[in-house]
């Protein structure tokens, strides 16, 4: 497979989110123009993104919605449910545990991990919380493939190392530091303060 831009993969998610409800409510076909206008992007962008993975459209008509939904689900690997663990059961971690956005889109939060003995051994928002010492075994038993880091910045690196040694290859990092990981592990960073700062810059320059 060719090198697909990261931006393309993220847009596929957006397409899916638009198309899935349309498919359920019975919309048959959609043109790149219509889909693009729903996302305020360029129609050629939509066509090019899809063309990386094959040719799904009908000239003169557009794309079959339900076919396209199935195809994107397959491309993104969200046909089956993905199990996720969250490390850090503080404010952010437990909010994420309870966040329904994840399950709606096919991700199941299986467990929280923390070091605080006031939290471990209990359920938080319905999700069991374990000690971080149990992480590696749990990941192995439950065949977990994805982890979310929601610990304070100063612990992020050591947690990342534990996660990597558990053989997880995909990490969503909320800690406001860049973490060092082997090249075969993918990290997506969600950096809240950074987003606010970039807004702040915008405000300064209106």
Interacting residues with a second copy (CB under 8 A): 1, 6, 9-10, 12-14, 16-17, 39-40, 75-78, 82, 84, 91-92, 94-96, 98-99, 101-102, 104-105, 107, 125, 145-146, 169-172, 176-178, 180, 184, 186, 188, 190-206
Q: Sign of dihedral through CA atoms 98, 99, 102, 105?
A: positive
Cβ pair 132, 114 in contact under 8 A:
yes
Q: How far is CA 21 from CA 27, 44, 105, 158, in A?
A: 9, 23, 12, 41
The Cα–Cα gap between 206 and 200 comes to 10
Among residues 8 and 115, whose Cβ is nearest to DNA?
8
Question: Phi/psi zone of residue 112: left (φ > 0), alpha (ψ -120 to 50 degrees), beta?
Answer: beta
Least distance CB 183 / DNA (angstroms): 14
Q: Which of DNA, a second copy, none does residue 144 bind to, with CB < 5 to 8 Å depending on kind?
A: none
The Cα–Cα gap between 133 and 114 comes to 9
Q: Which of DNA, a second copy, none does residue 44 bind to, with CB < 5 to 8 Å depending on kind?
A: DNA
Least distance CB 61 / a second copy (angstroms): 25
Angle between helix axes 65-76 and 6-24 (nearest 10 degrees) is 140
Among residues 75 and 162, whose Cβ is nearest to a second copy?
75
Residues that bind DNA (CB under 7 A): 3, 5-8, 31-33, 41-45, 47-48, 50-51, 55-63
Q: Which of DNA, a second copy, none does residue 201 bind to, with CB < 5 to 8 Å depending on kind?
A: a second copy
């Amino acid at each position: 497979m060719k090198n697909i831009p990261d931006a393309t993969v993220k847009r596929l998610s957006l397409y899916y989110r638009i198309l899935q409800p349309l498919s359920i409510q019975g919309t048959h076909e959609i043109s790149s123009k219509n889909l693009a206008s729903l996302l305020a992007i360029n129609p050629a962008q939509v066509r090019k993104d899809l063309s990386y993975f094959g040719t799904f459209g009908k000239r003169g008509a557009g794309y079959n919605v339900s076919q396209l939904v199935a195809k994107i689900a397959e491309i993104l690997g969200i046909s089956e449910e993905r199990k996720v663990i969250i490390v850090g059961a503080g404010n952010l971690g437990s909010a994420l545990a309870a966040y329904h956005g994840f399950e709606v889109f096919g991700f199941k939060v299986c467990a929280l991990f923390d070091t605080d003995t006031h939290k471990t051994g209990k359920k938080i928002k319905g999700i069991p919380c374990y000690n971080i010492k149990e992480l590696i075994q749990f990941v192995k038993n439950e065949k977990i493939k994805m982890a979310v880091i929601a610990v304070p910045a100063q612990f992020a690196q050591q947690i990342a190392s534990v996660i990597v040694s558990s053989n997880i290859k995909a990490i969503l990092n909320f800690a406001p530091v860049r973490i060092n990981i082997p090249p075969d592990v993918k990290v997506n960073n969600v950096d809240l303060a950074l987003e606010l700062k970039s807004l702040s810059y915008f405000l300064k320059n209106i």
